[in-house]
Amino acid sequence: MKIPLTPLRFLERAARLYGNKEGVVCGEERFTYAEFADRCRRLAGGLRALGVRSGECVAVLSWNCHRLLESYFGVPMATGVLLPLNVRLAATELAAILRDSDARVLFYDVEFAALVEGFRAEAPELEHFIPLTAPPRTTDNEESIEFPSPFSGSYDDLVEWAAPLTSDCTDVNEDVIAEMFYTSGTTGDPKGVMLSHRTLYLHALSALIAKQYTDDMAQVHTIPLYHANSWGNAHMLTAVGARHILLRKFEPAELCRLVEREKVTALCLVPTMAIMLLEYLETGGVRHDLSSLEWTELGGAAASPELILRMERAFGCLCYCGYGLTESGPVLSISRLGKLGRGMDPAQQLRRKAMTGREIIGAELRVVDEQGMEVAKDGRTMGEIVARGDGVFDGYWENPSETDAALRDGWLHTGDMAVWDEQGFVQIVDRKKEIIISGGENISSLEIERALSAHPDVLECAVIAIPDAKWGEVPKALVVLRKNAATTVEQLSSFLGGKLAQFKIPRQIEFISALPKGGTGKIMKKLLRPPR
């Protein structure tokens, strides 16, 4: 008998082999894997008691916490579909997603109670609005409390009162949807990305092999668990019995305290987080013992070789980049060099580690032209990244036309423009929609941003296209300088003159105090572009 492929097997393995080991740290709360698994089973039992049926969505609106982590196993165990929500969205956006997904249950952090009240009437299909926590009960006889019907308690009440579900993983249909994540909606209405049990299981195996996850690891969930850069870690860490350290919100000082206290071995960050962390370490005046760190991975946006170098010097550990997207489960490639880097000089190693990298086991990447033919592997010829593999999504929720547009001839069209070389290293040049076409020349905004980021006075920057009567459009740079920096526009332009062709140098450079960012710290260029 073949056992279905499901991430629920990772939880059962962790409970069997690491039951007495501390598996989850969330603030002052600590759980062994046996305790964590029991809470997941009780969540599943509670959802069944609420009447959640197979294939129905259970939404969670929360910062990182152990309850959100538990939902990654408890919801699919109850045969529901987990729908983590972006806490940065407005009430109308959240209501639209909840209506589109036909969600039955919403768990929410009490911090968002007013936000939830703001869209409650706009989501009539939702039957249960359940806060994650509630004030302590004052009853004298805790033993007499029974599961109430209709349910009116908190998530913690549900987990405490419900009988644990004792289902067998062999009962799972590996092809049904286990999790769903909505796209950001930058090119249209948000779409629900469906991921089946099988897809999630195979993706986790491929990624943990590529990243060399082991049971002695401890990793902080720095990026929100609702985001593509983070959710796969819920499965991977559990699969090997490593420790989950939950960071409610990203804050450099708190992250450093966690690394020091919990002897953290690995971090995943977006580049903006890395920059904030470096600024804190370099200017905060507080020393931390970060020697436990073995590696850090940057993803979600382009990173420069200079940022990789600063990270390795600050933390004394390996730093490299990874690449993927919501529709790919998410990881497609990493730039971890291994033995391949031994024949390279330090500058070559840095350049490679800042690249998109090479495909992981279970994924296939190609860089193709408009006709779908592979472009030359010369590191110069640009094309679109297309991918296929075990982690590629199972389609958009109730949207076959968009699914067909994204998945063509078995390949996922990513919209990311890149070059590649003979060794299979891919380097993203830009998003297809963000390439600046000036006088017929294609200009990569990422190339300009990397060049600007190499200046010692530049904290962060973003490059956008602005209209131009002669050239159609030209690049403009928005730059945030480091504290007390006195660099001028003319000095920055001169600096770029030695690194970029003249037509790529921004026609305008504007200094601003901060760049707009989303929930993970990723720069939101759409808010910087002039209206068309």
- Tell me the three-class secondary structure of 327-359, residue by residue: HHCCEEEECCCHHHHHHCCHHHHHHHHCCCEEE
Q: What string of DSSP letters covers 71-118?
A: HHHHHHHTT-EEEE--TTS-HHHHHHHHHHHT--EEEE-GGGHHHHHH
Q: Check residue 384 and give its pLDDT.
A: 96
In angstroms, what CA-CA distances link 99 with 95, 132, 178, 515? 6, 21, 18, 32
Structure tokens, 94: 């959240």
Q: Are residues 424 and 309 in the same domain?
A: yes
Q: Which residues pair with 24 in a beta bridge?
A: 31, 244
**472 phi and psi angles, rounded to 5 deg:** 90, -60
Q: Check residue 148 and give its pLDDT.
A: 63
CA distance 267 to 237: 12
Task: Look up the CATH number of the domain holding residue 476.
Answer: 3.30.300.30
The mean pLDDT value of the chain amounts to: 92
Residue 527 confidence (pLDDT) above 50: yes
Q: Are residues 440 and 503 in the same domain?
A: yes
Q: Which residues pair with 323 in a beta bridge?
A: 333
CA distance 369 to 417: 10
Q: Check residue 286 and give its pLDDT.
A: 84
Residue 488 confidence (pLDDT) above 70: yes
Q: Is residue 279 part of a domain?
A: no
**15 phi and psi angles, rounded to 5 deg:** -65, -35
- Classified as helix, coil or strand, 130 is strand
The count of domains in the chain is 3
Q: What string of DSSP letters covers 383-424?
A: EEEEEEETTS---BTT-HHHHHHHEETTEEEEEEEEEEBTT-
Q: Which residues pair with 412 in a beta bridge?
A: 387, 407
Q: Which of 399, 419, 434 is the last residue of a domain?
A: 434
Positive or negative torsion for Cα 526, 486, 313, 242: negative
Return the DSSP state at 121. G
Place 231 in a pLDDT band, splitting at 50, 70 and 90: confident
Q: For tokens 């990772």, what's the residue?
A: 10
Q: Check residue 228 and give its pLDDT.
A: 76
Closest to 350 (Cα-Cα) out of 305, 316, 314: 305
Q: Which of 156, 183, 202 is the last residue of a domain?
A: 202
Task: Look up the CATH number of the domain holding residue 192.
Answer: 3.40.50.12780
Place 136 in a pLDDT band, splitting at 50, 70 and 90: low
Kindly state the average pLDDT of the residues 95-121: 94
Q: Are residues 15 and 85 in the same domain?
A: yes
Residues 6+ apart with CB under 8 A from 2: none
Place 144 in a pLDDT band, splitting at 50, 70 and 90: very low
Residue 26 confidence (pLDDT) above 70: yes
Residue 142 confidence (pLDDT) above 80: no
Residue 187 confidence (pLDDT) above 70: no
Residue 281 confidence (pLDDT) above 60: yes
Kindly state the average pLDDT of the residues 65-82: 98
CA distance 506 to 475: 5
Q: Check residue 185 and give its pLDDT.
A: 57
Residue 147 confidence (pLDDT) above 80: no
- Give tens-digit pLDDT for 394-403: 999 999 999 9
Closest to 323 (Cα-Cα) out of 365, 274, 369: 365
Q: Is residue 285 part of a domain?
A: no
Place 149 in a pLDDT band, splitting at 50, 70 and 90: low
Q: Which residues pair with 396 in a beta bridge?
A: 193
Burial 416-446 (b: 16+ CB within 10 A, else e): bbbbbbeeebbbbbbbeebbbebeeeebbbb
Residues 6+ apart with CB under 8 A from 313: none
Q: Are residues 33 and 126 in the same domain?
A: yes
Q: Are residues 97 and 53 in the same domain?
A: yes
Q: Are residues 446 and 406 in the same domain?
A: no
The answer to whether 523 and 462 are in contact (CB under 8 A) is yes
CA distance 395 to 399: 8
Q: Are residues 56 and 101 in the same domain?
A: yes
Q: Are residues 42 and 86 in the same domain?
A: yes
Q: Is residue 84 part of a domain?
A: yes
Kindly state the average pLDDT of the residues 94-108: 95
The answer to whether 414 and 428 are in contact (CB under 8 A) is no
Q: Is residue 362 part of a domain?
A: yes
**Whole-number percent of the chain with pLDDT over 70:** 96
Kindly state the average pLDDT of the residues 429-435: 85
Place 177 in a pLDDT band, splitting at 50, 70 and 90: very high
**The residue type at 99:** R
Q: Are residues 29 and 170 in the same domain?
A: yes
Q: Are residues 354 and 485 in the same domain?
A: no
Q: Is residue 287 part of a domain?
A: no
**The residue type at 375:** V
CA distance 245 to 292: 14
Q: Is residue 233 part of a domain?
A: no
Q: Are residues 427 and 516 in the same domain?
A: no
- Give tens-digit pLDDT for 16-25: 999 999 999 9
**Which domain does 158 fall in, by range?**
8-136+148-202
Kindly state the average pLDDT of the residues 157-162: 94
The answer to whether 458 and 448 are in contact (CB under 8 A) is no
pTM, rounded to two decimals = 0.88
CA distance 331 to 362: 10
CA distance 395 to 326: 11
Residue 455 confidence (pLDDT) above 70: yes
Return the DSSP state at 438. E
Q: Are residues 421 and 505 in the same domain?
A: no
Q: Is residue 532 part of a domain?
A: no
User: Of the ranges 65-74, 339-348, 411-420, which one carries the lowest mean pLDDT score?
Assistant: 339-348
Q: Is residue 255 part of a domain?
A: no
